[in-house]
Amino acid sequence: MKKTFLILFFIAGIYSSVYSQCWKSITAGNSNFFAIAENGTLWAWGRNTYGELGEGTNSQRSTPVQIGTDTNWKEISASINPIASFTLGVKTDGTLWAWGNNERGQLGDGTLLNRNSPVQVGSDTDWKTVTAGFTHSIGIKQNGTLWGWGSSERFALIGFPSGINVLVPEQRNMDTDWVQASAHDRVTVAVKSDKTVWCWGWNHDNFLDVPFGSVITNNIQYPAKKNFSTNVKYTTTGDRRSFDVNENNLVINPNDPLNNNPAYVKHLDTGNSTLVYIPLNNGTLRSAGYRLGSSGQTSGDFQLSSANNWKLVSVGGESAGAINNNGELYVWGSNFDGQLGNGGSGTSSILPLLVSCPSVLSNEKFTTETSIKVYPNPIKDKLTIESIVSIERIVIIDVFGKEIYNEITNDTNVEINLSRLDQGVYFALVYANGIQKPIKIIKN
């Protein structure tokens, strides 16, 4: 039974890899995901209690569903509030959109009404970037000004006393040199054009590492400069942790979960309890802190994938995702709300699982089916592979993914001697006309 399951799982993985290279970006929410495809469309899946997926209902989705029909999505930021989440988005035309929970005005549409589909926030067309906290939102415009809305608790909106709800975006600072921001639970960390990092809001146990001499305050009312925050490229904040990555790709953090060792990364993100990063020296995928998808609160520094072509990562509250250079998307962690995108729910995963492209995108990229014949099958000695177009490459692997044979060719008919192979099940990966077609073969 275990062997059969492994074979079926591998076959599914092979087929998925054919139709999975369409993703441009990934954003992890608390128990859901948002992905922008190469064609600019937006897709979402997972928890949807408050309409935070944006597909018009409050129903959970266990496979990617398209959000509207627009093809100009640029950036998504999803709240990882474990109780009531919401989502913000910026389009390439500079407009700002919001949906999901709105009990503190964090959508910025002037109401306290929840929305289960995207609504435009105001009419401005000069939004550059946006970040969603737990109950507050921060946006930066093209002119470098910084804006905030939602809950002002613990001065999350700069200067507003705690308890006030701001229902539309308001400029919160006169500076015009803000370039990037990251919001979390009543706190915001932001980078200026001079590459310094500033923060405000809840500073529990001084996790933001703000220099106050002998006095440490838990509430920072106005932007305060972080210690050692020079030459910073981008910042990310999570639950009582904040990481800055400088121009040399070095991670700067006084509470480094990587045992205070110098860490150089290609990309990094943090959530409520987990840091996921791509080491600069080898391009693999690793996590530090709580291991998403594990039981018993397992923690440590784990390698999630030994592949060396990872591009970017995103960490939510209960799950995380990553995209490689081929445009393939992988997710892992909890699956109680269907956030692994595989059509099921309840079974978590500590290892990344492939999320296939929706069929509409697959059809866009792979419009021509290539007719390929493999015979005899089962085989005894020689295997013949025949195609109506030239075959570019043939790779044969076993059920564990180990490569047995690899040949580059330019023929329409290829004969391979497999007499030395042990009996068992193998897969021939045939590349032709830009398509990889996996074919199960049996060796007698």
- CB-CB contact of 58 with 108 (8 Å): no
Write down the residue that tokens 């074919």 correspond to: 439
Least confident of 14-18, 199-203, 329-333: 14-18
User: Is pLDDT of 94 > 70?
Assistant: yes
Closest to 426 (Cα-Cα) out of 1, 7, 4, 2: 7
- Which of 295-309, 349-363, 415-429 bottoms out in mean pLDDT, i.e. has the lowest? 349-363
Question: DSSP string of 79-105?
Answer: ---SSS-EEEEEETTS-EEEEE--TTS
Angle CA(209)–CA(210)–CA(211) in degrees, nearest 5?
A: 115
pLDDT of 363 above 80: no
pLDDT of res. 207: 65
Q: Which pLDDT score, from 0 to 100, does residue 2 have?
A: 39
For residue 255, give the 3-state DSSP assignment.
Answer: coil
pLDDT in tens, 31-64: 999 999 999 999 999 999 999 999 999 999 999 9
Confidence (pLDDT) at 321? 97
Look up tokens 């996790």; give the residue.
Answer: 207
Q: What is the per-residue pLDDT across 373-387, written as a single tens digit (0 to 9) for each?
A: 888 988 988 999 988
* Section 244-261 average pLDDT: 73
Quick one: what percent of the chain has pLDDT higher than 70?
Answer: 86
**pLDDT tier, 442 (very low <50, low <70, confident <90, very high otherwise):** confident
Summarize the confidence of residues 309-328 as an average pLDDT.
94
User: Are the C-beta atoms of 109 and 119 separated by less than 8 Å?
Assistant: yes
Answer whether residue 216 shows pLDDT above 60: no
Q: What average pLDDT does this structure show over 397-407?
A: 77
- Using left for φ > 0, alpha for ψ between -120 and 50, and beta otherwise, residue 22 falls in alpha
Kindly report which listed range (92-101, 142-151, 303-312) carries the lowest average pLDDT score: 303-312
What is residue 236's predicted lDDT score, i.e. its pLDDT? Answer: 94
Higher pLDDT: 399 or 364? It is 399
Q: Residue 410's pLDDT is what? A: 84
- Local confidence band at 217 (pLDDT 50, 70, 90 cut-offs): low
